[in-house]
Structure 1
Amino acid sequence: MLSLEKYWENTQILEVNRQQPRAYYIPYADAVSAKTGKRSRSPFYRTLNGGWKFTYYSSVHNITESFYETNYDASGWDDLLVPSCWQTEGYDQLHYTNVNYPIPCDPPFVPDENPAGLYVRDFRIEDSWNGKQIYTMFEGVNSCFYVWVNGKFVGYSQGSRIPAEFDVSPFVQLGLNRMAVMVLKWCDGTYLEDQDLWRFSGIFRDVYLLGRDPAHVRDCFIKPELSGDYSEGHLRCELDTTGPISLQAELRDAEGNLCANGHVEANGQAELTLSLQEPVLWNAEKPYLYELYLSDGQEILHFPVGFRTVSVENGIFTINGQAIKLKGVNRHDSHPDLGQTIPLNHMIQDLMLMKRHNVNTVRTSHYPNDPRFLELCDRFGFYVVDESDLECHGLAVSGDFHQLTRDPSWEKAFVDRVERMVERDKNHASVIMWSLGNESGYGPNHIAMAKWAQKRDDTRLVHYEGAAERYLGDTDTEDLDIESEMYPSLAHVEEYGADESRSKPLFLCEYSHAMGNGPGDLKEYWDLFYKYPKLMGGCVWEWNDHGIRTQTSAGTEYFGYGGDFGDQPNDGNFCIDGLVSPDRIPHTGLLELKQIIAPVRIEAEDLKAGKLRVTNLYDFSTLSHLSFAWKLEADGDMIEQGVLETVEAGPQQSSIVIVPIKHKQGEGRNFLTVTVRLKEAAAWAETGYEIAFAQFEIGKESAGSAQNPAWMEEIRQRPMHIREEENLVTVEGPDFCHVFDKVKGTFVRLSKQGVDMIHPPLAFSIWRAPTDNDRNIKHRWMEEGYHRAGMKVYTCSIRKQTEHVLEIVTEFSLGGYMKHPVLKGQAVWRVDGSGEVGIAAKIKVREGLPFLPRFGLQLTMPKGNEEVEYFGYGPHESYIDKRHSTRMGKYLLRVDDMFEPYVMPQENGSRYGTEWASVTNDLGMGLLFTGSQPFSLNVSHYLPEDLDQAAHLHELTKRNETVVHLDYKMSGIGSNSCGPELLEKYRLDEKEFEFSLQLRPVFKEDE
């Protein structure tokens, strides 16, 4: 084995020769270059990103050669791009696990077979750096690493997602140099990095050199302070220098105007204060940034500065004294091709998508992000909960969740992680809270972290969910500024909000699990957040699916998840739990979130008079940047439209507006829709981008009235010919022929003008392909045989037969082997002279059963039925608890348009509240469906069984036939993959109910 000190299992050695942590910055030579933030424009910066020589060892013990020597021949090694995760480049094992450690739980020890990656890079030091103090910075290396330069040992560091800086001045020379790095997959720090993610290794963030003047600003803590009435701003700069310097400071506004300047002679610790009157405040809605330039000798440091306060006042969370609701998401670093190596444009794409969907907060779950991410949050306007790289979730499996935080020998490692995060990120206006990590128990080491953070920075709050009272009861949380919880019940949230004795605001750092088709409980949370001032909002879990782009042996591309790469242990598709797909295509859950957290609320005040109440839910902005347009539709057809005059309402204020409707309402269903859009383009969206909408029904006629015109009554009276042959009843009219099978208790043929509309027979259905949020309840469903429930016909007889009406009554049950029937029912089938088939069912569900996934009629239509027209909620999927982002209207789609491509196939694409629908071929020949009450519609090229049996999209085989579900009800989606159980009001838990529906063969173009 290579001869070196074994630091990776010593909890007291976290680094060797690593520099003290400091604020993130790059020194520049002039202010113009500094303001661009383009690091390559600095003569004092030299990237080491790019091509490195690389070789991989399955165990560090297999390394015998002194690869770090200057004359070592690495020409035969592979070429590897840095930064990168070596698993995404074909080395080692792609591995996803959530809670479980991927190694035996034996802290601080790790397996002897510890994989290692060796890196070698030659670089040059130009003459212009002669006399400079030269540092190398590693922004992120997983999990620990050793560094050599020109054959000499430089240092060691661990802590994967926080920077490590080394002074290499004693080791480098002008001209050619060589750097060698050994990265180990595991170290004792692995026990503190058990986050729910892919386990990546390597130099995965930027590496670079800095050439500094021997005496320079080493660190700067910039503290914007405000007077009580916000009329005065004071910028206190706490400096740490490496020697005597003469420092000039300039503070400029966003337009470049000089606001304040100053000078200080510093040698070591020093302080400088700049003052200005009437400062413009920073907040996420209006992220106004001043520019601070610190100049010394050849160097200029640039810091964007946001003046703002963060505080808790009477149990209420405030920014700049204003109560704020955090409308947040949890975001992992995740790229479908690069793993945890995140390009700058990818970060920008994420933040722009968040802005477009009304998100104002990011929790960096569960580690500090790339420092440039925080610069973007400052500029775009986001509140950031900055989280320490600390999670010990696997200890929960081992039996002692609090083991490490209660062990004094680990205190140094715990505190090191919050210290390095705070020091790096302390100058960012966007950071409003420091988080002590995630799911790591709670004890003295966390308290030590909190005390350190509070002492170092009194301008922000300290958060840690693991100390929640509902987990630990009464414990020492004096140094935590807020109460934080995950996935509490709505009842618990309301109880907390209403409890006047609570002195801390409640933050739901994780709530409403967005896995797969979901989440479905957003509105209920936000009703409570707005109701109680003490509830400060929360962050949905989570932003993006963590799929890895891969291919089948046949070359079909798909997103892989846990277990797809032979990884053990793994947590399957639990990493596919985001609001956007791995390649950042928004799921419908993100559209739902956008509408529910929209910054404008519109409510009916007096619809007959056209009066609406508009509430401005912005915290600091008026509505002057928004336009309001309206339209009135009857049965989906436009009657009138217009634009509202300027809507005026201050932050958190309401106003009454009148929609100037001139025309009379149309017949049928009349809906008024108001859309709220940007008047001018923003950095993240174009002019006219929709921020929110509201829809109201004006008057109401019977559902489906447009599809039951008066002329139908005459057609219903047309004579029919009925004949019975054994178990078959054939009904023929002038242009239709239907066949009912009395043994099967259903129609086996529906046709018009010789065109068959169904195959196989109509059937009742209670099963849906389980969603990810059904993962807990589905086991109870399957125990009761819901997924195998077939129809048993007890009796079937003709109840009424005339020249133009036929009624057949069937007594039946649905059930599977081993179990008593799930339900029993009576179905009355009715056919009239128009060819319309009516079904009226009375259902009784067996007592003691879990709620049903659905109940309704399933039918399969022949190939070619690709056109879907319906009146209901759309245009995208909607469910009883996931429909606020949809609006009532008339929609014309293709069957494939109804499908939502979740990474793991599951129930998708249903349309809640449908009043009528037709499914036809391109000539308009097909079936029309109407209900006496709205129904749930699903049209697809897949049976529920197809979706249930496929683990990935590419495993689905698209059927030529069209599968239609017409459901009395579909149970809601919820977020019970990790969140609370589905709310009772969204469950199909009725023990007795009635359901009626009409099916009519149509040639649409003739009607």
Structure 2
Amino acid sequence: MLELEKYWENTQILEVNRQKPRAYYIPYADADSAKAGKRSRSPFYRTLNGGWKFKYYNSVHNITESFYDKNFDAANWDDLLVPSCWQTAGYDQLHYTNVNYPIPCDPPYVPDENPAGLYIRDFRIAESWSGKETYTVFEGVNSCFYVWVNGQFVGYSQGSRIPAEFDITPHIQPGINRMAVMVLKWCDGTYLEDQDLWRFSGIFRDVYLLGRDGAHVRDAFIKPELSSDLTEGVLRCELDTTGPLTLKAELRDADGKVCTTGQVQADGQAELTLNVSEPVLWNAESPYLYELYLSDGHEVLHFPVGFRMVSVENGIFTINGQAVKLKGVNRHDSHPDLGQTIPLNHMIQDLMLMKRHNINTVRTSHYPNDPRFLELCDRYGFYVVDEADLECHGLAVSGDFHQLTRDPAWEKAFVDRMQRMVERDKNHASIIMWSLGNESGYGSNHIAMAKWAQKRDDSRLVHYEGAAKRYEGDTDTEDLDIESEMYASPAYIGEYGADESRSKPLFLCEYSHAMGNGPGDLKEYWDMFYKYPKLMGGCVWEWNDHGIRARTAGGTEYFGYGGDFGDHPNDGNFCIDGLVSPDRVPHTGLLELKQVIAPVRIEAEDLEAGKIRVTNLYDFNGLSHLSFTWKLEAEGMLVEQGVLEAVDAGPHESAVFTVPFKQSLAEGRYFLTVMVRLKEETVWAEAGYEITFAQFEIGEEQESSDAWLDALRQRPIDIKEDGALITVEGNDFCHVFDKAKGTWVRLSKQDVNMIQSPLGFSIWRAPTDNDRNIKHKWMEEGYHRAGMKLYACSVQNQTDHEVEIAADFSLGGYMKHPVLKGQAVWRVDGSGEVSLAVKVKVREGLPFLPRFGLQITMPQGTEEVEYFGFGPHESYIDKRHSVRMGKYLLRVNDMFEPYVMPQENGSRYGTEWASVTNELGMGLLFTGNVPFSFNASHYLPEDLDQAGHLHELVKRKETIVHLDYKMSGIGSNSCGPELLEKYRLDEKEFEFGLQLRPIFKEDE
């Protein structure tokens, strides 16, 4: 066994020889290179990213070779790219777990069989670095590691997602040198890193060398300060040097013009102050950055500077004195192929998508991100809640959630994680709050973190949800600037907002769980956020699905989740809970969020006169950068369109504008849609990109009669009974009703049969992820196995051009009383149209129904869908703010939403009519007495329910159509509150009416 000091189970040894934490920067030789930010252009920077020799051991105790020796022969080792997670390269076990620790819960001890990865890299020290001090920086290593250079021990560090820097000057020589690193999968720090994520290991962020002069700037705290009236700025530069230096400072504006300069003689601690009159202020909407250059004659350090003030005023969260709403998401580092190794372009892609969907805030759940991510947030304009790499959620399972945070032996580890984050990230304008971590109980160690942060940096707020009132014990929250909750209901936050005794603003650090088909409660939250000034907004959980790209034995690609790789314990698909897919394709939930949090609200003022009220929900910007176009439609057809001129309003202000209709709206039903778009291209979207829209219904549909259809209805029909079968035949149709089944078994026109199997009523849907709790109650009552029982069936009324057939029925499953009982009255007239009128009574004491409606299986080739309703994408009663009323023509496949774990999807709320036909337009037309929920799919609910992944679905050749009286809403109860009562199908009695007519569309 390798002889090592066993630091990994010692809570008092967090590092050996690691440098004191400092701000992130790269030294450059000149200002232009520093401004460009391309690290390879610096002569003082040398990347160690690239190919390393690698060997994996399933236990550190199995290592017997002195691999760190300078002349060790590693030629037969594997090659591994760094940075990377060794699990994504095929080593060890891909493992997803949420709350449960993947090891026995016995802090600070970890299993003796502790996997280890050994890394070796030869590198060259250039002659130009002769005489310089050389440092190596590891931006992220999971979970702890030892470093040797040229066979000499350099140091040790733990804390996976915060940098570790070592001085390797005594150990190197000009020319070829060797670095050896041993990374352990687990250490005592593992108990502080129990986040809801894949458990990756290795050198997963950048590694590099820095060559510094003996006397250099070690650290810089760049502190932009503003006068109370925000008109005067002071840039206070607190500097720490390793020796005597003459430091010159130059501050340039965003156009490159020099604003002010300064100079200071520094030897150790020093301060340099620059005054800026009438500074342009930074905010997420207009992220104005100055550029500070610090030069000692050899090195140039570059710091973007944003002047902004974060404060709480009378219980209201403000930036630059303006009340601000945080429209945020929680974002994990997650790449479908690389795990937690995140390329720069991937970070940019995430932020650009967020910008395009009106998101202004990122919570770095639940650890500091790559420092370049924060630079991007500064530049593109995001508010950041920077969170310490700290979560002890597994202790909740052991029964003592507060065990570590109340143990003095762990205080050093807790505070160390806060210090290293704050010191690294303190110069970023985007960071508005420091977070003490996530789901770790609350106690003295957290309080020590908060006190240290407040003392070190009083320009930002300190946040920690774990101090919420539901945790008993420590009540000292004086150093926490805000109240924070997770998944509190809209009703609760409304009560908080109205409670005048509450002195702190409320932040929902997690809300509206976006797992699978969801979330469905966004509007209710934002109605409350806007109603009460003390509610500062929140961050949806979460940004992206954490699927791992995988392939079946047959080569089919899919996204894997917990349990797909033999991992245990695992939390299944609970990591598939984002607004975008693992490869960043937006889910409809993101479109919903975009609309609900849009920075412009448009409301009806006097629609008949064309008057609308426009409210600017930007916190700092006006509306002059936006264009407002409108269109008027009738029955899905464009009637008129135009542009609203000179629309503008100040932040948080409203104004009324008139849409200049030429069309008379005295009679008829119209839909007015106002679209808000960018006038000019930005870094995140093209000119003309739609920011939001609003749609209004004007007038009422006039009663009209289709004379040709009325005439068809009067045509004679022929009715024949043969045993249980009733055949209704007309001029061009032939329908067959089976009295033994109580339903239609054939609907045809011109000998084209439009249905593949008998019509039936349905109450079951493939449970969504947000049904994960209620589905157990549904299944206890047999909803998923509910079949039809026919009590009686007979012809009630019959004329020469019409017949009515009544069927008394129930729906239920074995062991249980029927879920509901009802009567369906079917009527056929001379046109061949089949009308349904159903009355239903639901048994008392049952949970609300997933849905109630008619299920129709149509034959192969029925692929064309046309409907008038909400679109173009799926919608539900509580998830419909991102869709608009119109006429849509699409394919059955287009109705499908490919959630990583199949579930109910693709329904269209508020449909007024729909047709499903073959390519020649032969099929069925559906209309309702009131708007209904409509879906057309190649999957039965049972197919979706039984498949764990998309590739497990077997597409049916037939088309399954659902025409629902109502579909219960989506909500966010996978982790959030229960579905709101108003969105539940909880009626105990209701009536429903539909019409089905065989059609040849081209003849209609």
Q: Does 1:455 align with 2:416?
A: no
* Residue identity opposite 2:987 in structure 1: E
Instruction: State the partner residue of 1:541.
Output: 541
Residue of structure 1 aligned with 2:893, choices 890, 896, 905: 896
Given that 2:907 and 2:933 are in contact with CA atoms closer than 8 Å, whether structure 1 keeps it comes out as yes
d(CA) in 1 for partners of 2:113, 2:381: 46
Whichever residue aligns with residue 989 of structure 1, its letter is D
**Matched letter for residue 830 of structure 1:** R
Quote the residue 1:522 is aligned against: 522
Residue 470 of structure 1: how far off its partner (Å):
3.5
Tell me the distance in 1 between the aligned counterparts of 2:743 and 2:339: 53
**CA shift for structure 1 position 489:** 1.6
**CA distance in structure 2 between the aligned counterparts of 1:713 and 1:612, rounded to whole angstroms:** 40
- Letter aligned with residue 242 of structure 2: T
Per the alignment, residue 766 of structure 1 pairs with: 763
Give percent identity, aligned residues only: 84
Q: Which residue of 2 aligns with 1:847?
A: 844
Aligned to 2:450, the other structure's residue is in SS state helix
**Structure 1 position 261 matched with structure 2 position 261:** yes
Partner of 1:930: 927
The residue that corresponds to 1:19 in the other structure is 19
Which residue of structure 2 aligns with residue 755 of structure 1?
Answer: 752
- 1:775-790 to structure 2, matched below 5 A, reads 775-790=772-787
Q: Following TM superposition, by how much is the alpha carbon of 1:501 offset from its aligned partner in structure 2, in angstroms?
A: 1.0
Conserved in 2, the CA contact under 8 Å of 1:482 and 1:506?
Answer: yes
- 1:474 CA drift (Å): 7.7
Residues 301-324 of structure 1, C-alpha deviation per residue, up to 9 Å, x if partnerless?
000000000000000000000000
Separation in structure 1 between the aligned mates of residue 709 and residue 63 of structure 2, nearest angstrom:
85
2:991 is aligned with 1:994: yes
Offset of residue 667 of structure 1: 7.0
1:514 maps to a residue whose letter is A
The amino acid across from 2:882 in the alignment is S
Contact 1:122/1:178 (<8 A) preserved: yes
CA positional deviation for 1:670: 1.0
> What is the 5 A alignment of 1:824-835?
824-835=821-832
Secondary structure of 2:982's counterpart equals helix
Please report how far the alpha carbon of residue 668 of structure 1 lies from its aligned counterpart in structure 2 after TM superposition: 5.4
SS in 1 for 2:700: coil
**Secondary structure in 1 matching 2:215:** coil
Report whether the alignment pairs 1:941 with 2:923: no
Name 2:554's counterpart in structure 1: 554
Distance 2:759 2:113 in 1: 60
Distance in 2 (alpha carbons) for counterparts of 1:991 and 1:418: 55
Q: How far does the alpha carbon of each residue in 1:532-563 deviate from its partner, in whole angstroms, 9 at most, with x for none?
A: 00000000000000000000000000000000
Q: Which runs of 5+ in 2 are unaligned?
A: none
Partner SS for 1:773: helix
Give the aligned partner of residue 652 of structure 1.
652
* Structure 2 counterpart of 1:42: 42
Q: CA deviation at 1:700?
A: 1.7
Alignment partners' CA distance in 1, 2:666 and 2:924: 26
The alignment of Structure 1 onto Structure 2 pairs a total of residues equal to 1004
Q: Which amino acid aligns with 1:323?
A: A
**Any idea what SS the aligned residue of 1:280 has?**
coil
Deviations 1:786-840 (A, max 9, x none): 0000000000011101100100111100000000000000110000000000000
Structure 1 stretch 487-496 or stretch 577-586: which is displaced more? 487-496
Partner residue of 1:860 out of 857, 860, 879: 857
Structure 2 residue corresponding to 1:803, chosen from 787, 800, 804 = 800
Contact 2:233 2:279 in 1 (8 A): yes
Q: 2:877 aligns with which of 880, 887, 903?
A: 880
Contact 1:19 1:164 survives alignment (8 Å): yes
- What amino acid does structure 2 have at the position aligned with 1:234? V
> Could you tell me how far apart the structure 2 residues matched to 1:126 and 1:842 are?
86
AA matched with 2:635: D
Match of 1:985? 982
Distance in 2 separating the partners of 1:27 and 1:490: 49
Question: CA–CA distance in 2 between the matches of 1:367 and 1:289?
Answer: 25
**Secondary structure of 1:99's aligned partner:** coil
State the shift of 1:710 in Å: 3.4
Deviation of the 1:471 alpha carbon: 3.5
Q: State the one-letter code of the partner of 2:143.
A: S
Partners of 2:441 and 2:471 within 8 A in 1: no
Cα distance in 2, alignment partners of residues 403 and 635 from structure 1: 64
* Deviations, residues 707-757 of structure 1 (Å, cap 9, x unaligned): x63321111000000010010100000000000001100000000000000
User: What letter is aligned with 2:866?
Assistant: E
Query: In structure 1, what residue type is equivalent to 2:997?
Result: R
**What is the CA deviation profile of residues 439-496 of structure 1, one whole-angstrom value per residue up to 9, with x for unaligned ones?**
0000000000000000000000000000012433881100000000000122211110
**Partner SS for 1:5:** coil
Trace 1:292-331 onto structure 2 (pairs within 5 A). Answer: 292-331=292-331
Partner residue, 1:684: 684
1:633-688 deviation per Cα after TM superposition (whole angstroms, max 9, x unaligned): 00100000000001020000000000000012497541000000000001100000
Query: Deviations for 1:246-273, whole angstroms, at most 9, x for unmatched residues?
Result: 0000000000101010000000000000
- TM-score where L is the length of structure 1: 0.99
- Take 1:475 and 1:832, find their aligned partners in 2: how far apart are those partners? 73
Alignment of 1:132-281 (within 5 A): 132-281=132-281
Asked if structure 1 preserves the Cα contact closer than 8 Å seen for 2:520 and 2:971, the reply is yes
- SS of 1:170's equivalent in the other structure is helix
Q: Is the 8 A contact 1:115 1:184 kept in 2?
A: yes
State the partner residue of 1:480. 480
* TM-superposition CA deviations, 1:919-940 (whole Å, max 9, x none): 0001100000000100000100
**Mapped partners of 1:357, 1:364: distance in 2:** 18
1:423 counterpart = 2:423:
yes
Cα offsets for 1:897-926 (capped at 9, x unmatched): 000000000000000000000000011000
Aligned-partner Cα distance in 1 for 2:971–2:551: 32
Taking the aligned partners of 2:666 and 2:333, their CA distance within structure 1 comes to 52
Partners of 2:503 and 2:479 in 1: how far apart?
13
Q: Distance in 1 between matches of 2:474 and 2:711?
A: 75
For 2:788 and 2:474, locate their aligned partners in 1 and report how far apart those are by CA, in whole Å: 55
Matching residue's letter, 2:874: E
Report the residue type matching 2:357 in the other structure. Answer: H
Alignment match of 2:712 (pick from 696, 712, 715)? 715
Partners in 1 of 2:799 and 2:470 — Cα distance? Answer: 68
How far did residue 592 of structure 1 move? 0.1
Structure 1: 4+ residue segments shifted above 6 A: none
**Residues 332, 366 of structure 1: 8 Å contact kept:** yes
CA distance in 1, matches of 2:472, 2:800: 75
Are 2:667 and 2:700, in contact at CA under 8 Å, matched by a contact in 1?
no
Q: Do the aligned residues in 2 keep the contact of 1:639 with 1:666 (CA within 8 Å)? A: no
Alignment correspondent of 1:334: 334
In structure 1, what is the Cα distance between the partners aligned to 2:804 and 2:473? Answer: 64
> What displacement does 1:961 show?
0.2
CA contact (8 A) 1:634 1:665 kept: no
Which residue does the alignment assign to 1:725?
722
SS state of the match for residue 699, structure 1? Answer: strand
Cα distance in 2 between the residues matched to 1:297 and 1:418: 33
Other structure's SS at 2:687 match: coil
Q: Secondary structure at the match of 1:55?
A: strand
Specify the SS of the correspondent of 1:513. coil
Tell me the distance in 1 between the aligned counterparts of 2:668 and 2:853. Answer: 26
1:434-513 alignment to 2 at 5 Å?
Answer: 434-472=434-472, 475-513=475-513
Measure, in 2, the Cα distance between the counterparts of 1:146 and 1:14: 12
* SS across alignment from 1:698: strand
Alignment partners' CA distance in 1, 2:424 and 2:520: 38
**1:597 alignment partner in structure 2:** 597
- Deviation readout 1:834-873 (Å, 9 max, x if unpaired): 0000000000000000000000000000001100000000
Aligned partners of 2:444 and 2:474 also within 8 Å: no
**Is contact 2:608-2:665 (8 Å) kept?**
no
Supply the AA of the counterpart residue of 1:757. Answer: M
- Separation in structure 2 between the aligned mates of residue 846 and residue 752 of structure 1, nearest angstrom: 39
Letter of the structure 2 residue corresponding to residue 938 of structure 1 = N
User: Partner of 2:412 in structure 1?
Assistant: 412
Distance 1:700 1:182 in 2: 74
- Distance in structure 1 (CA, Å) of the matches to 2:692 and 2:124: 55
Aligned partner of residue 948 in structure 2, secondary structure: coil
Is 2:948 aligned against 1:951?
yes
